Amino acid sequence: MREYESIPAFKAILTKKTIENIAIQSLDLATLESNMLKCKFKSCLFLGCKMSDQLWHHLQPNNFIFPVMDAPYEVYPNKLYSKETLYNNYDYKKPTTYNQTLDKLVYDHYIKTGKQADSIKETLTRRLHDHSMTDAIDDFLENFKPKKVVAMMGGHGLSRGDKTYRQVAEISRALTEKGYLMVSGGGPGAMEATHLGAWLAGRSDRSLTTAINILKKAPFYNDKKWLSTAYEVLKKYPKSTYQSLGIPTWLYGHEPPTPFATHIAKYFANSVREDGLLTIAKGGVIFAPGSAGTIQEIFQDLTQNHYRSFGFASPMVFMNKEYWSYQRPIYPVIELMSLRGDLKNLNLGLYDTNEEVIGHIERFK
């Protein structure tokens, strides 16, 4: 089913007498109504489109019409978010203006209606929103080869001044320059470092140092100037010719999404978000040090690879030998089970240096 998500694209096909099996998403059809009334539509899907009663009756009963629903967010978004849409009305010189942004307004609504909402209307609108997010991700990824999409996982509590933060940024920058699309959970810590590296791809080590020096004035995501210092960096380096994809969630809405991600797919359902993130990372996943959330993602990724859920197993690359061998001794357990044949199809790596991590990802063709 072909999708139409802009007025010009949809208008171009309204010369046909009969239009079948297309999807139209989140469009105001007022300007096209006279054209549409001349066409016969059959088995078409209209998601959240504004239309008159006359047009609605014209489209009945042979099409599927999902109505516009009342919510403080677009229920059927037809494209990914960005820092401009999530952080609209934000002035980094006045950090309290974050309270006026779409991101904060949606989070406040999410908390008010309940993380596990009692209202069937609210749960339905959230599911419809998240379905549209997944569809928007699929559209975006059509521009990339599957094995050129790599995810970076790691702790949200990683300080901007930590050496691991810089290492994550360096690895992400290098892979981005090599044509990879870097993906993360889109939040602070190692996730932010991933997108900082991608944003600064093509720039020097000195630029990265300058950026980190600005950022580490507010080292953790709960510092009042965490977001404003990120915008200071964006002001100094306002343009990037590279892309990256952040996939955060309002479940952790107290952690603002990083504005360094050029494209943002924010979800309500964290389970859909995490599984989807690992699913699209067919070029491999790099695991920087992290705690419970990262460990959960390790075993989710392991399951996908063991069963070759998508036809093949992708690299699972662990960064920091001491951490994953002793502080969080996950790697020895997985390696032993793989060697014994209890886990199959795994492509494992455990390294300390950037070159080793990048080399493992590049060897996977």
* Residue 295 shares a structural domain with residue 185: yes
* Residue 315 shares a structural domain with residue 220: yes
**Mean pLDDT within 147-154:** 98
Residue 257, C-beta contacts closer than 8 angstroms, at least 6 positions apart: 86, 103, 186, 187, 246, 248, 264, 266
* Residue 159 shares a structural domain with residue 307: yes
Domain containing residue 353: CATH number? 3.40.50.450
**Predicted local confidence at residue 33, as pLDDT:** 96
Amino acid at 340: R
Task: Give me the chain's average pLDDT, please.
Answer: 97
* Residue 55 shares a structural domain with residue 182: no
Long-range contacts of 201-206 (CB under 8 A, 24+ apart): 201/173, 201/176, 201/177, 201/240, 201/241, 201/242, 202/177, 202/240, 202/241, 202/242, 203/173, 203/237
**Predicted local confidence at residue 358, as pLDDT:** 98
Residue 338, C-beta contacts closer than 8 angstroms, at least 6 positions apart: 344, 346, 348
**Predicted local confidence at residue 56, as pLDDT:** 97
The answer to whether residue 365 scores a pLDDT higher than 90 is no
The answer to whether residue 329 scores a pLDDT higher than 90 is yes
* Residue 42 shares a structural domain with residue 160: no
DSSP lists the bridge partners of residue 66 as: 47
**Is residue 25 within a helix (H) or strand (E), and if so which, with residue range?**
strand 22-25
- Model confidence at 44, pLDDT cuts 50, 70, 90, reads very high
**Mean pLDDT within 327-340:** 97
**Predicted local confidence at residue 268, as pLDDT:** 98
**Predicted local confidence at residue 113, as pLDDT:** 97
**Mean pLDDT within 214-224:** 97
Q: Is the dihedral of CA 199, 204, 209, 214 positive or negative?
A: negative
User: Does residue 133 sit within a domain?
Assistant: no
- Model confidence at 301, pLDDT cuts 50, 70, 90, reads very high
Residues 148 and 177 sit within 8 Å (Cβ to Cβ): no
Q: How many domains are there within the chain?
A: 2
* Residue 153 shares a structural domain with residue 55: no
Q: How far apart are the C-alpha atoms of 214 and 226, rounded to whole Å?
A: 10
Name the domain boundary from 49, 66, 83.
Answer: 66
* Residue 47 shares a structural domain with residue 151: no
* Residue 216 shares a structural domain with residue 323: yes
The answer to whether residue 216 scores a pLDDT higher than 90 is yes
* pLDDT tens digits for range 8-31: 999 999 999 999 999 999 999 999
Burial readout 88-104 (b: 16 or more C-beta within 10 A, e: otherwise) = eebebeebebbeebbbb
Q: Sheet containing 45-47: which strands, arranged edge to edge?
A: 2-4, 22-25, 45-47, 64-66
Q: How far apart are the C-alpha atoms of 167 and 266, rounded to whole Å?
A: 26
Report which of 282, 284, 277, 288 is spatially closest to residue 361, judged by C-alpha positions. Answer: 284
**Predicted local confidence at residue 166, as pLDDT:** 98
User: Does residue 238 sit within a domain?
Assistant: yes
Report which of 20, 26, 30 is spatially closest to residue 51, judged by C-alpha positions. Answer: 30
Residues 189 and 153 sit within 8 Å (Cβ to Cβ): no
User: Does residue 96 sit within a domain?
Assistant: no
User: Does residue 116 sit within a domain?
Assistant: no
User: Does residue 229 sit within a domain?
Assistant: yes
**Predicted local confidence at residue 343, as pLDDT:** 97
User: Does residue 130 sit within a domain?
Assistant: no
Which domain does 11 fall in, by range? Answer: 2-66
Is the backbone peptide bond immediately before 61 cis, with ω within 30 degrees of 0?
yes
The answer to whether residue 267 scores a pLDDT higher than 90 is yes
* Residue 31 shares a structural domain with residue 171: no
The answer to whether residue 226 scores a pLDDT higher than 90 is yes
* Residue 48 shares a structural domain with residue 157: no
**Mean pLDDT within 1-10:** 95
User: Does residue 320 sit within a domain?
Assistant: yes
Q: Is 132 helix (H, G, I), strand (E, B) or coil?
A: helix
User: Does residue 312 sit within a domain?
Assistant: yes
**Predicted local confidence at residue 281, as pLDDT:** 98
* Residue 217 shares a structural domain with residue 313: yes
* Residue 287 shares a structural domain with residue 173: yes
Name the domain boundary from 30, 48, 66.
Answer: 66
- Model confidence at 362, pLDDT cuts 50, 70, 90, reads very high
* pLDDT tens digits for range 88-139: 999 999 999 999 999 999 999 999 999 999 999 999 999 999 999 999 999 9
